[in-house]
Structure 1
Amino acid sequence: MVTDGTGAFFAEWDRRGPGAERSVERAGLLAHALETGTTGIPVLTVVGSKGKGTAATYASATLAAAGCRVVTVTSPALRRERERIRVNGTAISDADLTRLGARIREAVRYLPERRSGEGYLSPSGLFTIAGVLHARAVGADAIVLEAGMGGVSDEVRLFPPDVVAMTEVFAEHLGVLGDSPAEIAVDKAGVTAATTSAVVSLPQTPPVTEAIAATVADRTAGRLKPEVIGASDLPEAVLPAAHGRRNAELGRAAAERLLDAAGRRRPSPGRLHRVLSSVRLPGRLSWHRLPGTTILLDSAIDRTGAATALAEARRHWDDIDHVLVCLPDHKDIAGVIDELAGLPVTYVRLPEYRHLRFTHPLPPHWTVMDDGELTRERLASLGERVVGLGTVYFIARLLDLLNADTERLFEV
């Protein structure tokens, strides 16, 4: 997925030492040097454990339907790194990415020299800063930021949000963001700023609900209470399948709150429905074809996600010929193994991602391979009906292998 112009975004990541962590503080110095902190552009930030990309896409589509020029920053990329930054759903050009990389590289030269053991500038954080730079360059009316992992611990905190959208928070990144879902929720909700006008959330478990409410109250001196998004009033035809519907509705609701705060009119129902019905989400219950083979891809990382993807496959097929799955150790491998019982499975490792471990015990009948062994011919040989599940890095690998169209996510 590497293209020309991305070297500046990965320079410190590539040179990081064992156990090194990203430095949001160092990213803050860079953002200050680039004068990105006061753009005057309304910001909508999406945080949560899963479904952030869907929420960010539908928020962006809603804003675009209202006539806004919206810059969206998501992570990681689908096929090409320039897809991390989009204008009205369309990836920026290679030339734009090169220009942004040059500005990042030049500004980094003036930062204090990074000493051994100190935190590095993370790629996702640098793309976030670059996205804000691009928004200013193109005269954007709104910015939608998808947090990488956390909230207050993520570089998105450098850009105080006018609206925060919270997808479901669960036990993802335990021991990193917190030791319980409630502690993780505190980190994610901590992105809320004193100037935030609305926090909208999907329904959460009681401990997570309490943690979000307390954090938002603390960050806004008691001024704000999170708003829980209920059932959608949108036609089913304009929403994605399964759990994606809730995240899509969250994105739409958050975008409407941003429009209200900015004093802009919401889109008419007809225009909103037209734009939302054009949304494409590659790698999220998306269908693809090779000669003689149909493939369903989904970035499922736990038992529930795997069950949802298998149910969607069985809505269309009498049987599933093969499943490709790629989950590092910190995902819910045990739950996914249970869901895949009785199915032919190939487990795929990603050796190039040194920060991911693939050592969890697997069923003895599973085939194991590295992603470098995957080819279009290998995929086609697995049968007529194939399901691909796993981390977004793996799904991106399959999208690239299938030459999927990831350039534009919706039409305005």
Structure 2
Amino acid sequence: MGSPRGVGGRRSWLGRRCPAQSIVASSTTVGRRPGNERAARPAPVRSGGVPQPGRRRPPVGTVADRDGPHDGRPGSPARSRRPVSSSHAEITAALTARWPEQRVAPSLARITALLELMGDPHKAAPVIHLTGTNGKGSTAIVIESLLRASGLRTGRFSSPHLSRVNERISIDGEPISDERFDQIWTEIEPLVAMVDEQRLDGVAMTFFEVVTAMAFAAFADAPVDVVVLEVGMAGTWDATNVADGSVAVITPIDLDHTHLLGGTVAEIAREKAGIIKPGAMAVLAGQPVEAATVLLERAMEVGALVQREGVDFGLLERTPAVGGQVLRINGAEGPVGDLHLPVHGAHLAQNAALAVAAVEAFLGMKALAPDVIQQGFDAVRLPGRMEVVRRSPTIVLDAAHNPHGARATAAALAEAFDFHPLVGVLAVMGDKDVDGIVEAWTESFEQVVVTQVASTSRGMPAEELAEVVASRFGAERVHVEPRMDAALERAVALAEADGGPVPGVLVTGSVIAVGEARTLLVRPGSEDDQPGEPLLEVADSGQFGEADGPDLGGGTVR
């Protein structure tokens, strides 16, 4: 691995002590619940509301620092200084072959052990932690944009990805490059192998745990001023929960992943409440009563402060406008109006208000100036969320993957577009409430093209999904195309042949399906409104959406 020290004898985040001596075999030692060894609270806040730069700077000297500052983004001066042992495709394949993230291995022992070997990079910067059922990703993106507008350097970790695994790790709003991703993996691979050998709680490190650790490494190395951290699933046992978030953001909670998290909203809320830490600020979106009760009980239990939508902050007014909507929100110091948000949908407007509240909480309840909020909103781009990727006919992508999300998207489409006809392209995961998702679209789609994803075995087969859709729409309105490229072509043909005044196509049902469609429709590196030529096929590369490794069997699920 080489020396853990970098240029000038400064220590790297990697190996602050000898890795061979620091791995602890006992899971009772390294697998403690987060909270026994807390990171320091967030940086002190000066009168202007911005954390002081005098906080501990994460040590430098990793591969990314040896030729000067490096933030991991394409074009960074130190982008590619050292050859990696494997190609990016090989590294991605090796990672996705691990225990897949949709299978739960509830333990923090493995991620804690790895981060200890790496020198605890997750403690290098304050964290805004997000969980919830719907809206985590869009809220995280708006939070990041507002923080950047406030002059802070940001790291954002999100999941799943649409097209490339690198999308999960962003610095200042840009995914890290393939080269940077590969460099981080090459640096930590020996440490991952050491933790794998321990089989803590009977499982080697999972895909999600490894990528989470890679994100913390990238952020510590950049370094960033604040980390925006989105959970993978639930909260308590999610690998991201090793972080000590100074702000915990809970987006709306509803039924999802019920086979893993519980069959009631209260049970799911209990799992998600685990990210609320002692002394933190919990910023709560509007919740069902059962969820709100659980979240407030958790906040009282750990001594966290609470900001509630509809009580302490919220969306006061919204007016649909060209290219988005105009908002009036209630912030830390009262109403702020005439804010243009360049995305459609009431649910995304509420997420934007939640994001403002989260950032103001992070800044010590210092109100954001209206021009800062507008600057942050102007920079918001939400790939795969009410995203228009083609005109004539218009093709919209939205990753709604449960009934609650589908209903919100259906309402947003009806408000923002006057499609006639609207043809749906639908592909869903087999472990979702498929009938509930289909029911949400019965008043919107005139015809439905049913397909299936190519890049994961979790996808429901097209023929099976067609039976569910036909039970709601009638067989004469349902068309089956197992390949995404063929499904898109069929949907466009149906929309154009109808003869309606405003033909439209919506691709929805899962993040993975939207990722595959986006890869077919948008040229890499292009702006969102510059669609590319459709490809001939979607490769089964493991690059899309969630990692879907082999069915390893066994394991413990709660």
TM-score range, shorter chain: 0.7 to 0.9
Q: Supply the distance in 2 between the matched residues of 1:16 and 1:299 (Cα, whole angstroms).
A: 24
> Which residue of structure 2 lines up, in the alignment, with residue 229 of structure 1?
309
> Which residue of structure 2 lines up, in the alignment, with residue 393 of structure 1?
512
Q: Supply the distance in 2 between the matched residues of 1:77 and 1:378 (Cα, whole angstroms).
A: 26
Per-residue CA shift, 1:26-62, capped at 9, x if unaligned? Answer: 2221122112256331100110001100111111111
> Which residue of structure 2 lines up, in the alignment, with residue 353 of structure 1?
456
CA 1:103–1:382 in structure 2 vs 1: closer, same or farther (change >3 Å)?
Answer: farther
Per-residue CA shift, 1:223-281, capped at 9, x if unaligned? Answer: 224321232325452263221111222122112211228xxx66532132122122111
> Which residue of structure 2 lines up, in the alignment, with residue 369 of structure 1?
481
Q: Supply the distance in 1 between the matched residues of 2:109 and 2:480 (Cα, whole angstroms).
A: 40
Letter in 1 for 2:522: N
Per-residue CA shift, 1:148-205, capped at 9, x if unaligned? Answer: 11101201111111110000011111131123111111111112222x4200011111
> Which residue of structure 2 lines up, in the alignment, with residue 381 of structure 1?
493
Q: CA deviation at 1:113?
A: 1.6
Aligned pairs for 1:200-211 within 5 A: 200-211=283-294
CA 1:313–1:183 in structure 2 vs 1: closer, same or farther (change >3 Å)?
Answer: closer
> Which residue of structure 1 lines up, in the alignment, with residue 74 of structure 2?
none
Bigger radius of gyration, 1 or 2?
2
Aligned pairs for 1:132-281 within 5 A: 132-194=216-278, 196-218=279-301, 220=302, 223-230=303-310, 231-232=314-315, 233=329, 234-238=337-341, 240-242=343-345, 243-260=347-364, 267-281=368-382
Alpha-carbon RMSD: 2.9
CA 1:334–1:131 in structure 2 vs 1: closer, same or farther (change >3 Å)?
Answer: same
Q: Is the 8 A contact 2:428 2:434 kept in 1?
A: yes
> Which residue of structure 2 lines up, in the alignment, with residue 92 of structure 1?
176
TM-score where L is the length of structure 1: 0.87
Letter in 2 for 1:201: L
CA 1:275–1:236 in structure 2 vs 1: closer, same or farther (change >3 Å)?
Answer: closer
CA 1:407–1:225 in structure 2 vs 1: closer, same or farther (change >3 Å)?
Answer: farther
Q: Supply the distance in 1 between the matched residues of 2:208 and 2:483 (Cα, whole angstroms).
A: 23
Q: Is the 8 A contact 1:239 1:245 kept in 2?
A: no
Q: Supply the distance in 2 between the matched residues of 1:15 and 1:87 (Cα, whole angstroms).
A: 25
TM-score where L is the length of structure 2: 0.65
Q: Supply the distance in 2 between the matched residues of 1:29 and 1:102 (Cα, whole angstroms).
A: 18
Structure 1 portions without partners, runs of 5+: none
Letter in 2 for 1:247: N
Q: Supply the distance in 2 between the matched residues of 1:207 and 1:311 (Cα, whole angstroms).
A: 25
CA 1:21–1:289 in structure 2 vs 1: closer, same or farther (change >3 Å)?
Answer: same
Letter in 2 for 1:298: D
Larger RCO (CA under 8 A, 6+ residues apart): 1
Please identify, of 266-275 and 366-375, the stretch whose mean Cα deviation from structure 2 is larger: 366-375
- Of residues 388, 394, 397 in structure 2, which corresponds to 1:297? 397
Q: Supply the distance in 1 between the matched residues of 2:361 and 2:216 (Cα, whole angstroms).
A: 20
Q: Is the 8 A contact 1:58 1:249 kept in 2?
A: no
Secondary structure of 2:390's partner? strand
Letter in 2 for 1:224: A
Q: Supply the distance in 2 between the matched residues of 1:173 and 1:208 (Cα, whole angstroms).
A: 15
Q: CA deviation at 1:135?
A: 1.1
Q: Supply the distance in 2 between the matched residues of 1:94 and 1:44 (Cα, whole angstroms).
A: 26
Letter in 2 for 1:169: I
Q: CA deviation at 1:132?
A: 1.3
Q: Supply the distance in 1 between the matched residues of 2:490 and 2:200 (Cα, whole angstroms).
A: 43
Q: Is the 8 A contact 2:142 2:376 kept in 1?
A: no
Structure 2 portions without partners, runs of 5+: 1-85, 316-328, 330-336, 496-502, 529-558
Letter in 2 for 1:387: L
Please identify, of 397-406 and 49-58, the stretch whose mean Cα deviation from structure 2 is larger: 397-406
